[in-house]
Amino acid sequence: MLPAPTLTAATPLSPAHPRLTRPPGQPLLEAHLAARLWRGSSLGTTATPTLSSGFAALDAELPGSGWPLRAVTELLTPQFGVLEWRLLAPALQRWWNTQALPATTGRRRHTAAPALRSLLLINPPHAPHLPGLQALGLPPSALIWVDATAPAEALWAAEQAIKSRVAVLAWLPEARPEQIRRLQISALSSDAPAFLVRPERAGQQSSAAPLRLVVQPGDGWALDVHLLKRRGPAHEGWLTLPAVPGAVEPLLTAARRKPQPAPAPAPSPASAPASPPLERADALARAVLHA
């Protein structure tokens, strides 16, 4: 029986095994293992593709420096329909731009272009406002609205969309841990982003999603983000991300971009002047003039 060949720096690799970059003096096998080994004390650096979030501070805290494309990401927020759009709009716009058809010039023959993959909005809390989404960089042709009437229908639509390798933004307030695990297994074979928006209280439940974030409104137009779960060390504190929509920013003055000062405390009941019991503050509170 012939001994197994050993990998050295001079051993040619087949196209299925691309050459690994390694520091000088490090064995090739050790470099291969280091690329696939993840330590819990450091951020995961896997070979799976990622999508930049559009926020440098957030990318610095995400494994792979972006949203994972072969996994589901959970966004836990106290209010649906506002914060998730401002957080995900830069990444979704970048993802859609990569779906654009290549331009053809001259007299070159037109070849069949791949079909564009859409962004499915599953069970959104409000009807999508197309002008507002277009201002965020998402054309109406990129969006498909799935209005599910039952939680089971929303979960089925999300699973089928993930298996079809299209981008998914699903609001699943009643999803159970075993259902999230099923979606995570389906996402392993997809290269499109999949985001699940869930209530903030869902952070107390276990989840198979490798990335979970809590998103809350910050001061002014900022977003406060805490990484509840990631492949790496626990995230301490909160990130403050400037998230002014691009269409709104030119309309804001410098004062409007800054956090508004807290209102002055109301006077105590002892120092406040007593109001007449029948006094009204509206226009009908005028005295009646008698002839």
Note the pLDDT tens digit of each residue in 173-194. Answer: 999 999 999 999 999 999 999 9
- pLDDT, the chain, mean: 76
Q: What is the mean pLDDT of residues 282-289?
A: 41
pLDDT of residue 136 exceeding 50, the answer is yes
Output the pLDDT for position 132.
84
| Total length of the chain | 291
Q: What is d(CA 130, CA 224) in angstroms, rounded to the nearest whole number? A: 26
**Which pLDDT score is estimated for 253?**
52
pLDDT at position 279: 44
pLDDT at position 284 is 37
Residue 226's DSSP bridge partners are 214
Maximum average pLDDT range among 35-44, 100-109, 115-124, 141-150: 141-150
Q: In the predicted model, is pLDDT for residue 57 greater than 70?
A: yes
Within 10 Å of residue 96's Cβ, how many Cβ atoms?
Answer: 20
**With contact defined as beta carbons under 8 Å apart, do 235 and 211 qualify?**
no
Q: Which residue has the tokens 């589901």?
A: 72
Answer whether residue 256 shows pLDDT above 70. Answer: no
Residue 272 exposed, middle or buried by CB count within 10 Å (0-12, 13-18, 19+):
exposed
Protein fold of 66-98+116-128+135-244: Rossmann fold (3.40.50)
Q: How far apart are the C-alpha atoms of 216 and 224, rounded to whole Å?
A: 5
Instruction: Using alpha carbons only, give the angle 240, 245, 249 rounded to the nearest 5 degrees.
Output: 100
Helix 151-163 vs helix 177-187: angle between axes, to the nearest 10 degrees?
20
Task: Choose between 98 and 159: higher pLDDT.
Answer: 159
64 pLDDT higher than 50: yes
Tell me the two tokens of residue 22. 């390694």
Q: Indicate whether 227 pLDDT > 80.
A: yes
Q: Please count the CA atoms within 13 angstroms of the CA of 213 that sit on its side-chain side.
A: 27
pTM higher than 0.85 for the full model?
no
Per-residue pLDDT averaged across 101-108, rounded?
Answer: 49
Residue 103 to residues 49, 60, 95, 100, 214, Cα–Cα distance (Å) = 25, 34, 18, 9, 40
Beta bridge pairs of residue 212? 74, 229
Grade residue 112 by pLDDT with cuts at 50, 70 and 90. very low
Question: At 229, is the secondary structure helix, strand, or coil?
Answer: strand
| Domain extents in the chain | 66-98+116-128+135-244
